Amino acid sequence: MPALRLGSTAPDFVAETTHGLIRFHEWIDQSWAVLFSHPDDFTPVCTTELGDVAVRAEQFAARGVKVIVSALYGMLDEQDLSNTDSTGMPYTVRDVFVIDPNKVIRLKISYPASTGRNFDEILRAIDSLQLGDAYPIVTPANWNPGQKVIVHAKLGNEEAKKHFQVYDTKKPYLRYTDDPRKSIKASLWDKICALFSKSYAADKDNA
């Protein structure tokens, strides 16, 4: 199997799941997907992770993300079994993959067996990836949705002005602007208020 690197196509596979037999790419369809694994049933750290994912089901669904989890023992090859931690746990068991609708691996995080996955961070990264796909921006350190983003370096100043009404230039290569979705919401609200004002004025004139 080829290495699972960022930018590579996630392998397709057939698996028996709690929801029946699936083919991975067909199951993803046009959604995003999070794929992660655990070593076996009734393992303590993974139990807390599965519970947290269940609690966050609506958060993933709101982002158009499907989550699938695999128990990997019995499926590991010699390469996996030769790369283990001090307890004998294969490192590959603790990987997390975020896969986009084109079946491309966009994020990969590897956790040691002793450390539970941080789903706040995984959701934050998905928000960043989806926003960057929709607009020519990147996100700074510790960014969270709604906070300022960075204008993509590929845009010259004139082109940036076409995309963003206002941006703050800290350095020629570092230009901050508002979260585009926040600006769109504000713009829509302004239009709604303007329409309401016109309607109110017309009603007043006709009174």
CA angle 22, 19, 127 (to 5 degrees): 80
* pLDDT tens-digit readout, 149-171: 999 999 999 898 888 888 899 99
Q: Where are the domains of the chain?
A: 1-117, 135-206
- Is 1-117 assigned to CATH 3.40.30.10? yes
Active-site residue identified among 28, 46, 65, 126: 46
Element containing residue 151 per DSSP (H, E): strand 149-151
Q: What pLDDT is stored for residue 45 in this prediction?
A: 81
d(CA 203, CA 141): 50
Q: Which CATH class is domain 135-206?
A: alpha beta
Instruction: List, in order, residues 6 or more apart from 49 with CB less than 8 Å away.
Output: 36, 38, 116, 117, 119
* pLDDT tens-digit readout, 4-41: 899 999 999 888 888 889 899 999 999 999 998 876 66
d(CA 128, CA 196): 34
Helix, strand, or coil (residue 146): coil
Going 157 to 162 to 163 to 167, the CA torsion angle's sign is positive
- Note whether 136 and 155 are within 8 A (CB): yes
Q: Which residue from 126, 111, 128 is spatially nearest to 49, judged by alpha carbons?
A: 111
The yes-or-no answer on residue 193 being catalytic is no
In this prediction the pTM is: 0.78
Q: Two tokens at 66?
A: 């499907």
Q: What pLDDT is stored for residue 88 in this prediction?
A: 64
Q: What pLDDT is stored for residue 188 in this prediction?
A: 46
**What number of residues does the chain have?**
207
* pLDDT tens-digit readout, 37-84: 876 667 788 778 888 899 999 999 999 999 998 876 554 444 555 566
* pLDDT tens-digit readout, 110-134: 888 788 899 999 999 999 999 999 9
Q: Where are the beta strands (DSSP E) in 25-139?
A: 32-38, 65-71, 95-99, 105-110, 137-138
